Amino acid sequence: MPERSRILITGASSGLGEAMARRWAGPGRTLVLAARRRDRLDALAHELADTGTTVDVRTLDVTDPDSVADTISSAAREHGGLDRVVVNAGVGGGVALGTGRADVNRRTLVTNTVAAFDQADAAMSVFREQGDGHLVLVASVAGVRGLPGASSAYSASKAAVIALGQGLHAELVASRSRIRVTTVLPGFIATAINEGRRPPGVLTATLDKGADALVTAIDSERRRAVVPALPWTPIARLLPLLPDRLAGRAG
């Protein structure tokens, strides 16, 4: 498996993005950390300064397609290429349709879906030119089945990301490309995006546990991984089979 030493992470200022950066930091590594909140990125870069990591922070709003393209292409030029791009930036808001707040759902869909496609497009442009690379799409277990009510927009947005990963993987396998695509489906992990949403404790992974599972799955370069594997792999298999009456409670 090739060494992935030059890694770009979007949404790196908090949550899983920040946690992944800490785990991949080390001598010989280059981390390009992109997010809207520059102050948090600078603080993380300062924290990682003693690890021997080259840290490059970039202010990025992923809903600006020109900025996405420029950030990824310029990072590749300046660091002699990119080995891995992690499409991680996202939001978790949503409301039931027809309740007068279509703007909330639109923001979720644009940030989680349209912006994810823009990031993937920019990354694949770099990888196709290099002839190698690893694209990581952070989806969600919520994307394996359409969820109701306030969860509908989020669920739909992550289903689109899962479909993107499936399509890209099929294309690259058929063409015998060296480019790899991994789609990761986190279950419920205690991050800021999940504040105010608390399922039973047995279903909630700490940020450390979730990030450890996420990094292990990504480094394995599997096509698709549910993290943490337990209890979320069986849940991901069962969700599409639930009767609508029971699935309605999941929203």
Query: Is 154 annotated in the active site?
Result: yes
Residue 135: strand pairing partners: 85, 181
Residue 180: strand pairing partners: 134
Q: Kindly give the residue spans of alpha helices, DSSP state H, lying in the chain.
A: 15-24, 38-47, 65-78, 102-109, 115-130, 152-174, 207-220, 229-238, 244-247
Whether 181 and 161 have beta carbons less than 8 Å apart is answered as no
> Cα separation of 36 and 80, whole Å?
24
Other beta carbons within 10 Å of 129? 12
Backbone phi and psi for residue 185, each to the nearest 5 degrees, phi listed first: -120, 90
Catalytic residue among 24, 127, 154, 232: 154
Catalytic residue annotation: 154
